[in-house]
Amino acid sequence: MDIRILSLTCAVWIGLGFAAASAQVLVSVGNSRARSCYLAAKQGFASADLIKTCSTSLDEENLTVKDRAATYDNRGIMETSLGRLDQALASFDAAIRTDASLGDAHVNRGTILIRQKEYEDALAEINTGIELGMAFLHIGYYNRAVAEELLGRYRDAYYDYMYTLELEPGFTAAQERLKVFRVIRPGDMANPPAG
């Protein structure tokens, strides 16, 4: 069965007033439970029944290594949407064990770690995902900026938000995060703004 992999994105709220994004690896061709899992993740749907569809695919279908990893990843995305962070983390871990070169799964794992306030670990995981490569690289840089901002590394976060917009000029989440930054040039430090 010829099944191709496609990455898409979905916003996940982290409860801190801004969102980290999930990089989704999706099975795009075929008539199978894996495809149903893909379509549900693509459309942002999540339910216990849809997660079961993904699990049944993993248990019963003869998937390639890439498609098996993608299906674990899709299941984790749905689990994340339902707030089942421990289960999502286990699914992303399974995706990485199945295909450690899947950068998107590393970034998704990093998204969960952000939600769990494990920012240093999230940053390391996201960096791994970026290094491995992703179909939508702007998601990796955006998530890295979120982690950096939460770690108080504002300069790094600012530049990663800016780079996110270079990669994807209309990416609203990065545009919104940049609104909280105020750029101060070295000469401006002698006369800081009031307020």
Q: What is the pLDDT of residues 25-44, one digit of tens each?
A: 555 456 689 989 988 888 88
Instruction: Burial-class residue 59 by CB neighbours within 10 Å (0-12, 13-18, 19+).
Output: exposed
What tokens appear for 21 in the block? 């994004």
In this prediction, residue 189 carries a pLDDT of: 61
For residues 183-187, average pLDDT: 80
Q: What is the pLDDT of residues 125-163, one digit of tens each?
A: 999 999 999 878 999 999 999 999 999 999 999 999 999
Q: Crossing angle of helices 119-132/137-150, nearest 10°? A: 160
In this prediction, residue 184 carries a pLDDT of: 84
178 touches 166 (CB < 8 A): no
More confident residue, 119 or 189: 119
Hey, is 112 helix, strand or coil?
helix
In this prediction, residue 27 carries a pLDDT of: 56
Asked if residue 1 has pLDDT above 50, the reply is no
In this prediction, residue 41 carries a pLDDT of: 86
User: Where in the chain does DSSP place strands (E)?
Assistant: 5-13, 19-27
**Residue entry with tokens 């791994």:** 128
Residue 5's pLDDT band, with cuts at 50, 70 and 90, is very low
Hey, is 49 helix, strand or coil?
helix
Q: What is d(CA 150, CA 118) in angstroms, rounded to the nearest whole number? A: 10
Q: What is the pLDDT of residues 71-96, one digit of tens each?
A: 999 999 999 999 999 999 999 999 99
* 190: DSSP letter: G
98 touches 65 (CB < 8 A): yes
Residue 54's pLDDT band, with cuts at 50, 70 and 90, is very high
Asked if residue 65 has pLDDT above 50, the reply is yes
pTM for this structure? 0.81
Q: What is d(CA 57, CA 35) in angstroms, rounded to the nearest whole number? A: 9
Asked if residue 187 has pLDDT above 80, the reply is no
- b/e code 144-166 from CB counts within 10 Å (16+ = b): bbbbbbbeebeebbbebbebbbe
More confident residue, 193 or 134: 134
Read off the amino acid at residue 117. K
